[in-house]
Structure 1
Amino acid sequence: MNVDEVLKMADALVFAKTGQHLDDLQQAIARGTLQGKKYSEIAQEKHCNESYVRDVGAKLWQTLSEELGEEVKKSNFRSTIQRWQIDHVTNFAQDVVAISSFNTCGQARQPPDIPNQNPENQVTSNPQQSPTFHHDLSEMPKLGNFYNRTAELELLKTLILTEKAQILTITGMIGMEKTALGIKLVEEIKHEFEYVIWRSLETCPTVAQLQNNLTEIFAEGDNQTSRLPLMKYLQNHRCLIILDDINYLFRRGELAGHYQPKSEDYRSLFKQIKERSHQSCFILMGWEYPREIAQIKHPNTHNLILRGLDTASAHQIIAQQGLEPEANGSRFIDYYQGNPLWLKTVANFMVELGLTVSELLANQPFLLPQDLQDILQQPLAYLSEPEKQLLSLLAKEDEAIALVKLLEIAPMPSADLLNTLQSLSRRCWLEKTDRLYRMSPVLRQYLG
């Protein structure tokens, strides 16, 4: 494994443990370690105190140690990652052999008798157990450019295929390309499931309408004249159901997670899927996720919040829009949070006007074109008045703000403030680190 391959593997392991990618200093420590550099050299390159670099390095090795289940330190970093990678591939190969030899009922399974058969309709030769693939992806959008979400993709595949998660939510601010990640995930794992169905909830179908649609597909696949309850199909078959645009189920002008009147029955549906025993998985994608999933941690449920892309992928987006990347463009990327849609929108605007990144960096505040304002207006329309009030207050703060200070300056009772903070965090308008709340520069400019 070369340096970049080891770094990618370390990044994926850290993300799986913490939900965060390696930051710039962690990357520098990992890369410098692989290149045989001392902490003092890394500190000099990053203009940091050596003791601080040592502390960050120690925490990085500890995180990797916890994830790998063995001690990782500066001296064995490369060898440990390489050994884990080899073991991982070996175990995966063994799993493939086991899966190809046995089905879920423990019966031997042979390769299909019919050559060149379409895998979408592949049937095994076992006369007693002959599952057919039924993939209804008619509502799944076409995947365009897919940028580096390797760590997120691997985490989702592990949760679904290894840990057998029953509900996964993929959330994030508008523009983070949640749908693109979902499409890529489906393309890579769809043949692990008998049924794969993608549905958009933008038209707000009722639970009854959704269940009728799903059970109709299941009944046709089972050649049944009468339909069973949805849960029976989820128990009898390995199903992957993707519900995109879930945010359209919720009310505007309320705190996060309040359903529209005709969507209230989704609450009991998601509760059933989470708590009942079955062998299927639901993936919910949108700006926010159901409160009944967020309220109580459950081993069968997981939430992935998408953050901005890495610098290399962001530069790729800029170049594809026709904007010449520049060496100092990382500040431009950071300002727009590495958000793919925001970067595309601003880069396209700059190309139309003939602006360069250097010219943009000389401008304060940065550009906020009308097209980007229209994009931000969509999730803004769902916020409650207390949320808008609190965001307006935070938009005046250049630095992250502590909860103690917020309690002092917010024009609302403490209980209301805490509920509002929780709602804004679930809707990804705020980020919380080390008990500090912050808004992105773009959102501050938009609301300021």
Structure 2
Amino acid sequence: MSIVKEILQNVALPKMIPIRQRFSAVELADPAATLRQQIRRPDISNRIRKGMKIAVAVGSRGMAEIPLIARVVIEEIRRLGAIPFIVPAMGSHGGATAEGQKQVLASLGVTEETAGCPIISSMDVVELGVLDNGLAVLMDKQASQADGIIVINRVKAHNAFSGPVESGLTKIIAIGLGKQKGADSCHTYGFNHMADMIVAMTKIKLKRMPFLFGIGTVENAYDRIAKIEVVPSEAIIEADKRLLSEAKANMPKLLLQPVDVLIVDQLGKEFSGGGMDSHTIGRAATTCVFPAALPPKRLVVLDITNNSHGNACGMGLADLTTRRLFDKINFDFTYANNLTSTATESGRIPLIMDNDQLAIQGAVKTCNVPDISKLRMMRIPNSLHLERAFVSESMLAEAQACADITIVGQAAEMAFDEAGNLGDLGFNTWRAEDNEH
């Protein structure tokens, strides 16, 4: 027996109870129809002329219905007689390589076949100007040669900084379409200045490039579209400010706090640009964001999604992880993201345990709650999908008293397999069930 197993073998784990959290769930009935209707408004459609070559910027965020949205936009451009193509707009993601960025789009369901147009991926940029502080404003070369540019993005709270504009159309213009070099330039002075940098760079790009309009979505707490808004290019920054407040109001959260041990089954770029959303887990890679959630005493992350392609940004926010996750890390992809964003904390290596059981036991042992009957432990599938969770028995009375929580099963021991790992305990089944609502 290894010394680690010997130290942890007698660490007891509490029984866990499955719960369902309820959030406001305003949802757009027909996103495709709404999008078509808005693009066909004269103030939008008149910007597209026959024969124009139009670049459609699609990012790496796992926004809801992105394959559908991309396809509808392409179809509407063609209907108006223009020639569309897609450019990946994701800064340094995908390992900061052209092929890697195209693979990221494919993992999100956006391919030349699904979208119905070419995807032209390149890391080449052109310089459009220089800010007063000396930072270069860089633009995807392929997009810069188009007759028109359209951007698509989800508007949401950023995981590393707070400001009047965070993740959204402005950020995809400033950073996404800047590719790795442009993203690197924008991050030069750190996240303390990010809110100002993305607006300043976007203003120059909007002035010097043929942006036509932006398509912003706001999602509800169940990762489904609550609103789609098509805005003229000159209104993008103000629309981002307005939609951000709606997005923050819609965010899911952990209804029972504080937590001694938080278990996150998977981190992933489709859940948050930071792998795990700071607004959910209460921890951030910078001091420039102010999450409402209380930080847990110990955080365990068990695995990473396939769609992350080994980009393990966010693992540094955890205290413990598993060898399963560690073996999937693509350090080039991860460190390209860390070095560009300058948030090196995000890429730090937590304690690596051989399996889920040891990782969770390690968290329990080190959280300094010696009475197992009082341990507050919570398990979630990821930092975005919070409708289903498990809580320890010590939290049962509190869960029963919360009007927005339903107890959906009995308390049970955590079920580890022969390798010491957990199954999904119904998380995948629950997601399918929730999608039916």
Same fold (TM over 0.5): no
TM-score (norm 2): 0.28
Identify, as 1 or 2, the structure richer in helix: 1
Q: Which structure has the larger Rg?
A: 1
RCO higher in structure (CA 8 A, sep ≥6): 2
